Amino acid sequence: MKKKLLLKSKLLFKLYLYFFSLKYNFFIKKKTYSQFGEDLIIDSFFGEYVGKYVDIGCYHPIKYSNTALLHKKGWKGVNIDLNPTSIDLFNSCRKNDQNILACLSDKKEKITIFLDSEFSALNSVNLENSKKFRINQVKKIETETQIFSDLVKDRFDFLNIDCEGNDYKILKSINLKDYSPKLINIEVSEDNKKNIYNYLNLNGYELLKIKSLSHIFKKL
């Protein structure tokens, strides 16, 4: 209820973003920010190396974030999400990152986004997700999907994909030989597991670790 009131008032929301940014940059220091501790594995893999990340379905700069730990160590990158509020939060906290409002897929087409809420991690292009999580009140937004290569031009070291069922479509649209990330974390389900594993294996990646739905692959 409080968050809904924030969104109704532009002034209150701007104040919220200001104090959220202060909280993120100066007061929040945690050992892990990920939902299942994925960032600890990612951090251990890269060690003292400082590089670039791309986070697709970035959702939130802190909550469930697989890149917050890297960002606080000096990493920079690109954060992409279909939710305007998520991008507002990233613009507030990570001003040196490129924060992009977009819905990615393997082709350009008009689709419907199903929003659980502006602050939800369950927003998706898949109506089945709403049924799965028993979301009764869904806000629908019409948009056009975009292609990864049109938005991201430079190479990067870490790729994170968490797009609520659209993960494989996005993954297969990325030329991994051109971008050549050293590590990839992607949400895997039984429906897309075979396709994701085959695509990554063919592109020279092997499984490093599984943390719940997150499957982490390293480049050979």
CATH number for the domain that contains residue 163: 3.40.50.150
Q: What pLDDT was estimated at residue 141?
A: 79
Instruction: Report the interhelical angle of 10-22 vs 84-93 (nearest 10°).
Output: 50
Interval 54-62 mean pLDDT? 94
How does pLDDT run across 136-178, given as a tens digit for each residue? 556 777 889 999 999 999 999 999 999 878 899 999 999 999 9
Decide if pLDDT at 39 tops 90.
yes
> Picking from 35-39, 50-54, 131-135, 141-145, which range would have the lowest pLDDT averaged per residue?
131-135
Q: Residue 59 — very low, low, confident or very high, per pLDDT cuts 50/70/90?
A: very high
Distance between CA atoms of 133 and 184, rounded to whole angstroms? 26
Closest CA to 124 of 164, 79, 169: 164
| Residues of the domain holding 140 | 2-219
| CA-atom Rg of the chain in angstroms | 17
Query: What's the mean pLDDT in 48-55?
Result: 98
- The number of domains in the chain is 1
pLDDT confidence of residue 1: 41
pLDDT single digits (tens) 186-195: 999 999 999 9
Q: Span 183-202, mean pLDDT? A: 96
Residue 187 is encoded by which pair of tokens?
A: 């949400």
